[in-house]
Structure 1
Amino acid sequence: MLSAIPLTEIGYLVIALLVGGAATGILAGLLGVGGGGIIVPVLYEVFRIIGVSEDVRMQLCIGTSLAIIVPTAFRSYKAHQARGAAIPGVLAAWRVPAVLGVVVGSAIAGFVRGWVLQAIFVALVTVLATKSIAGRTEWRIGTGLPGKTALRISGFFIGMASSMIGVAGGGLSTILLGLYGVPIHAAVATSAGLGMFIPLPGVVGYIIAGWAHMGQLPPLSLGYVSVIGFVCMAPVSALTAPLGVRMAHALPRRTLEIGFGVFLLLIAARFLVAIIWP
């Protein structure tokens, strides 16, 4: 596939992958989210240009995106943790239930219409984005974090919801922590770690699912995970994640809250468009 593309165009593709990886890392560090909203469109355009069949293109984008998110989230979380921002014990309580939630959510998603899940997500995120932008601190479900059992249950539902609507979970966990009165910097720092665990079942699933379609996939693909895409984007995103962390801790609380609220509105708009124009 690559041999039929002019060298100048290959250069543009590599630049697009590097820029997309850098933006993903900064976003992960700044807001504690996975960055799939950036990775997937970049990969989709790259795979279109190199001639990947439309039948498998989106699956390849999503599988590769999930794989890239894992090391990016690791670097982001460690950078936040080094600054003492991550809340001790929360990630430990969340990780196993969240992964189990992903498995259950994936099964449930097969029986529920996608637009129903997306509509619920859009309504919830729009309300909470408004809260974040308006600074309505009285919108809470508690003044402190619940006990470990409640945390494990919430981790399960975060994982389940993430798999059902196709996100990495960082945004959802930041929202939840904010509703318990956790400051935005600590919420972002703690949520960044979820990206190390929630995508893992998806990565394995996309690798396995892609084995039957290897003839349609580009060279150096591990099922629906492109090794070339991973190698081009993951190191850059992992390197730039600490930059996003520095930006997050340099920003005032209100600025970060407003930025997070705007990000939520953009995500809600993306899902709303998908509902109206499937």
Structure 2
Amino acid sequence: MILIAESGSTKCDWVLLDTLNDKRINTKTKGLNPAILKKKEFKNIISDNETLSEYKKEIKKIYFFGAGCNTSKTKNNVHSVLNSFFKNSTSIVEEDTMAAVYATTSTPAVVCILGTGSNCCYYDGKSIINKSISLGYIVMDEGSGNHFGKELLKAYYNYQMPQNLRALFESKYDLSEKTVIKKLYQSKTPNKYLASFAPFVFDNKEHSFMETLINDVINLFIKNHILQYTDELKTVPLHFVGSIAFHGQNYISNQLKKQGLNAGKFIQKPIDSLIEFIKKENAVLQS
């Protein structure tokens, strides 16, 4: 069996492929970001999943694409955990941007991720080229779920949010100062906490305040990231992956047009396209 994992910081989608019987089993766990989680925590999340535990001896090959898998140290940590739990397997570990690439294109393109976090890269047909180093959710991650969460909280606490939205926001979340500070500064995953506010933005996108907020956040991502690839975009398409990209695609397309750019594909979950890519790759290897 082949095991495929596509993980952000919030959740991880897993697919077990029985290539002999063309059987597919889907399951989910919490997000597995090795830059945030210790190896013990990482392994506990996997072992707590009944499906993964049931089939762990039958899995021969693992493809793990994840947020935080962009250094040799974090990749080695993931290899270590996977190989210790799935003892009969070999593992391939890549950063989440590679999953986004495989899910959208097999030819050169600029590919963006807008989920809990954000990223943007150029794929030259063989490898990923990044023009900026991501410093994570505290400094960067423009256009991401946690960026939207920050902007909402600032607008709420600075009394810039209209009263009708304030009341609705208060009815949906615990916004006591004590709770928010604890979640931001004592939680192991404050980026996930911030991103948990993002659905409120798109649930209320018809409100003029939210429309302005969405456009401002998207424009910052375009300015700081996409426009770094202006030369490449003269000849290659521009694709998007992630829940924020998917729900905000109309806004993204409109703001890109103002820059003379066009959006290509919008994919909410890359896992299905990843499956097809990996099935083809293994078919070639076996032929």
> TM-score under structure 2 normalisation?
0.29
Q: With the length of structure 1 as denominator, give the TM-score of the two structures.
A: 0.30
- Please identify which structure carries the higher strand content: 2
With CA pairs under 8 Å and 6+ residues apart, which has the higher RCO, 1 or 2?
Answer: 1
Which protein is richer in helix relative to its size? 1
